[in-house]
Every structure is written in C-alpha cells, then in structure tokens.
Amino acid sequence: MQRYTTLALISIVLVAVLAGFFVYPKGFGEKNMPWRLGLDLVGGSHLVYNVDLSGVPSKDQASVLNGLRDVIERRVNLFGVSEPQVYLGKSGDRSELIVELAGIKDIGQAIDMIGTTPMLDFREVLGEGTSTQFLPTNLTGRYISGAELTFDPTTQAAQVSITFNEEGATIFEELTGRNIGKPLAIFLDGEPIEIPTVQSKISGGKAQITGKFTIETARLLVERFNAGALPAPITLINQQTISPALGAGFLRSAVVAGAVGTGLVIIFMLIYYGFFGIFAAIALLIYVALTLGVFKLVGITMSLAGIAGFVITIGMAVDANILVFERVKEELKKGLSRTASVAEGFKLAWPSIRDSNTSSIITAVILYFFTSSFVKGFALTLLIGVLVSMFSAITTTRLLLKVFVKNNKVK
C-alpha cells in the first residue's frame, strides 16, 4: 500500500511539473495553444449597438435578439477575431448588443463587417409601364442558409447561388407559384439588381442572383450571406478602445498580485504550522500548476475578473489544509499515533470542506448562468478552482502526509 501511495504522489508531482511548463508563456505548447486573454488584458475594442425592434412583434423579439447575437458571432469569427464576446443587454426599454473584440488591430474594418447588412428581399411587380410598382414580400435574406460563388456557363459572369432554409423554401415556392409568367424583382440594399420573369414554380429552395457583379463583389456578398443577414437593424452608439500597452500593464499587475498573494499565504502557513506548513506549501504550488493547466487546456479566456476568481480559490485551497491540520493536531493531543491522527483528521475535516466548497460551487454556477460578460469569467474560474482545490486538499495533501508520516518525518 505504501508503494502505491508513493507512486501516486510522484505521479501527481510529475503532472504538476508538466502543467507548469505547459502554462508558462514561453513553455512547450505555447505556439499551438497560447493563452487566451480578454479585452482588458490584451487590448481591443468594446462596442455597444442599439437594436431597433420597432418592426418586430413583441412575441418574436426574444428570438430575434438571440438570432442577432448568433449572426454577429459568426461575422466576427469570419473576420478572424480571437475569442470574441457577444452578449445582449438592456438599458431601460432599449435593447443593446455588446461586442468585445480582443486584440483587434483594424477596428474600422471590424465595425464595417459587423454592421454592414446585405439587405436582400424579393418583391412582386404590379402594373405595367410608368405605373409599375414593387410590392414587398416576407421573403428576405434572413431565410438564407447558405450561399456560394458560381459562374454563368455561357458568359462566365460571376453570380451568387443562394439556398433558403426550410421556411424560406416554402415561402419561395409559394411566391414563384403565384407569379408564373410575371416578373419578380430582387432587391439588394434597397436597389433592384435583377427582375427575372418567373417561368414555373420553383421548389427546393434554391435561387441564383445574376446581377452585374465583379468576382470580388460577388465573393464579398457570399461571405456576408453565409455569415447571416441581420434579423433587426443595429446602430453603433458607443465605442471604447483599450490599447495593447494598457492591457499588458494590467496583465503584469495581475500576475504580480497573484504571485505576491500566493507567497504571503505560503509564508503564513510555514510560520503558523511549521513542518505541516511545508506540506501545505507544496500542495498549494501543485494546486496552482494544475488549475492553470486546466484553464489553458479548456481554453478559458482569462480576464482581470477571471484572475480575481482564481486568486480567491488559492485562499480557499489553503482553508481546506487548515481544517485538516487543526483536526490532526486535536487528535495528536488526544494521544493518538501520528498515522491514526492523520487518518482521523481527514475524516473529521471532510464534512466541513465538502459543505463550504459545495456552497461556493452553487454560487459560481448561479453567477455563470444568470450573469454575462466579465462576471461569467469570474464565476468559471471560481468554479474550476474550487473543484481542483477539493482534489488538492483531499488527494495531494493526504498523499504527502501518508508518505512522510509513514517514514516518521512529521513531528
């Protein structure tokens, strides 16, 4: 049993050492899996858009807002922004969309990509000659599920082939069915680009736009259709930019604060618990390495709030050790042997450790699912940190004590 205990301890230490190299900014794996840093640490832009829901029925507003968020996420992902944060907010009766673009260099191009909307719609044509007018229909770009660049087989002119989703395909079939032999106008951004005559009912949800496109304009249109048409108009009302230098300063301050805090906790444990404090210090360093390894492996975007959540869990990890050590000291005073005191100390401390950590886990889960933005980052790092700290207290510290108590190293 002693042999397996020692092997388990060595395994944990080796994993912690590897995790340390993994999380170090210049360690192995950094090229293929770098740290993901938030807007406040790496710099970037914070954009706030007003969402115009005046033309959307009340019962559909929630779904339109969620669809809008999804479309904007796809757009900024196509732009190549690392870990964009897109979420909805409320300001009185006004609905807002908040977009955080970390590490972005060309903010003007990003704003153009987010807000430029290829407003595609199909209109029926009424009347003839000078009395001709266009009647809007409910078939718009919001029903497009995909688009691709194609070329006319005869003229080799660039054209855009679009595919509607199931609902859009049904609308398109009905629209072409009632306009056989009549012109059907296709408008892009309010301008007619093509007015073909419908030859027959078109099923299957596919159509081609053969306006006078250059290859570049057709390709751009395809990209924007694939990103999704905005289901509601948006207007940029606020823009805040954080410089990379300022973000780097925040990062240095956060790292220094975390290191100093960890060092002070270790010094306190060494002074107050003596030789027991050495075990606590080793367990704490292993905890820090493992937790940071999990953060990076999972791909958490670290922000100042996330770092704050992690620093808090460092103190919570030590709390568990304090509970165990106090119980062990009480059992030693009763005259139990060192081995029995350690076993009994862990047994008696476990309910307190379990209950305190469970309450923290519940709090973190509530914060994560019922808040947004930086609060979610805080909640996520807190949750992961608490879970790893429970493992550290119950596994790492116990293995350390078992190995060294068996070898009569604890006084």
Domains of the chain: 2-38+243-406 (1.20.1640.10), 44-116+234-242 (3.30.70.3400), 120-227 (3.30.1360.200)
* pLDDT score at 2: 65
pLDDT tens by residue, 194-211:
788 888 888 888 888 777
pLDDT digits (tens, 9 = 90+) for 309-358: 898 888 888 888 888 888 888 888 888 887 888 888 888 888 888 898 89
d(CA 328, CA 400): 14
Question: Does residue 400 surpass a pLDDT of 80?
Answer: yes
Nearest to 36, CA basis, from 296, 373, 307: 296
Half-sphere exposure of 252 toward its Cβ, with a 13 Å CA cutoff? 6
Confidence of residue 373 (pLDDT cuts 50, 70, 90): low
- Supply the mean pLDDT for the chain: 81
CB-based contact 388:294 (threshold 8 Å): yes
Model confidence at 401: pLDDT above 50: yes
The structure's pTM equals 0.66
Cβ-Cβ contacts under 8 Å for 344 (sequence gap 6 or more): 327, 328, 331, 336
Each residue's pLDDT tens digit, 83-132: 677 888 877 778 888 888 877 767 777 777 776 656 678 888 887 655 66
Between CA 198 and CA 178 the distance in angstroms is 9
Percent of the chain with pLDDT over 90: 8
Q: Give the number of other CB atoms < 10 A from CB of residue 145.
A: 16
Dump pLDDT digits (tens) for 59-93. Answer: 778 877 887 887 787 777 766 665 677 888 877 77
Given this model, what pLDDT does residue 23 score? 82
Contact 286/13 with Cβ under 8 angstroms?
yes
What does the DSSP assignment read for 88-134?
EEEETTEEEEEEEEET-S-HHHHHHHHH----EEEEEEESSGGG-EE
Which is more confidently placed, 27 or 397?
A: 397
pLDDT at 409 over 50: no
What pLDDT digit, counting tens, does each position of 31-42 carry? Answer: 667 788 877 787
Give the pLDDT of residue 411: 47
How would you label 226-263 residue by residue, b for 16+ Cβ within 10 Å and e otherwise? bbbbbbbbbeeeeeeebeeeebeebbeebeeebeeebe
Beta strands in 190-300 (DSSP E): 191-194, 206-213, 234-242
Q: Which of 2-16, 220-234, 303-317 bottoms out in mean pLDDT, i.e. has the lowest?
A: 220-234
**Residues with Cβ < 8 Å from 143, sequence gap 6 or more?**
164, 165, 167, 168, 171
- The set of long-range contacts for 124-127, using a CB threshold of 8 Å and a minimum separation of 24, is 124/175, 124/179, 124/182, 124/184, 124/185, 125/182, 125/183, 125/184, 125/185, 125/195
Give the closest residue to 101 by CA, choosing from 271, 301, 282: 301
Q: What is the pLDDT of residues 145-186, one digit of tens each?
A: 888 888 888 888 888 888 888 888 998 899 989 888 888 888
